[in-house]
Amino acid sequence: MRKSCSQTFTHKVKFRDWEFEVNSELTRKTYAKAIGGFSEGCDCKYCLNYYPQKDEIFPEEIKILFEDLGIDYHKESECVSSFSISEFSNVEEYLDKLHGYGGWFHFAGNIISGKDLDSNQNIYDITPITDKFSIGFRQKNDLSFFESDVPLVQVEFAVEIPWIIGEVVED
């Protein structure tokens, strides 16, 4: 679903099966105004584990895409954990396993072609980039840094990362 507004899309970006119209300059300016990402303002153990791993989480292919879109990958709009200590049989297993996280970013633009996560409401169908990182796109603006009248694409990701902080989260 496309919205129209006074913002001009300056170029198109192609990534795998997707094509987007983008205003990367507006996106860069918006991220430059943001003080930090969601995980920087949170002191829960999940975010404390996620935050120091940001430089290693995103594959190079995604960092290049984010640069083309104007996204600062250090400033996620949201970051959530998708695991619980009750999923593990003991503390050692908890500390040794990879842990699932998800989150999202935004850029000023529209999806021209490619899979929109909202096209099938019953399935969260994100695309694997590596064995530990997946990505998807939808025309949405949950918790964005942008002004409300700007058409946005929400870039959603899922990643598995190690537990590095040593402290266990109690359920």
Strand partners, 156: 104, 136
- Mean pLDDT of the 32-60 span: 89
Residue 85 has pLDDT above 90, yes or no: no
Question: How confident is residue 3, by pLDDT bands cut at 50, 70 and 90?
Answer: very low
Neighbours of 144 (CB within 10 A): 20
- Mean pLDDT of the 5-9 span: 59
- Mean pLDDT of the 144-153 span: 87
Count Cα neighbours of 112 within 13 Å in the Cβ-side half-sphere.
Answer: 13
Question: How confident is residue 114, by pLDDT bands cut at 50, 70 and 90?
Answer: very high
pTM of the model: 0.85
How far apart, in Å, are the Cα atoms of 170 and each of 38, 44, 90, 105?
A: 21, 11, 12, 28
Please state the domain extents for the chain. Answer: 11-162
Question: How confident is residue 1, by pLDDT bands cut at 50, 70 and 90?
Answer: very low
Count Cα neighbours of 52 within 13 Å in the Cβ-side half-sphere.
Answer: 9
Res 84: pLDDT: 58
Query: What is the 3 state secondary structure string of 28-47?
Result: HHHHHHCCCCHHHHCCCHHH
| Helix (H) or strand (E) run with residue 152 in it | strand 152-162
Res 86: pLDDT: 55
* Lowest mean per-residue pLDDT among 26-35, 81-90, 112-121, 132-141: 81-90
Res 58: pLDDT: 96
DSSP 23: -
* Percent of the chain's residues with pLDDT above 70: 82
Residue 161 has pLDDT above 60, yes or no: yes
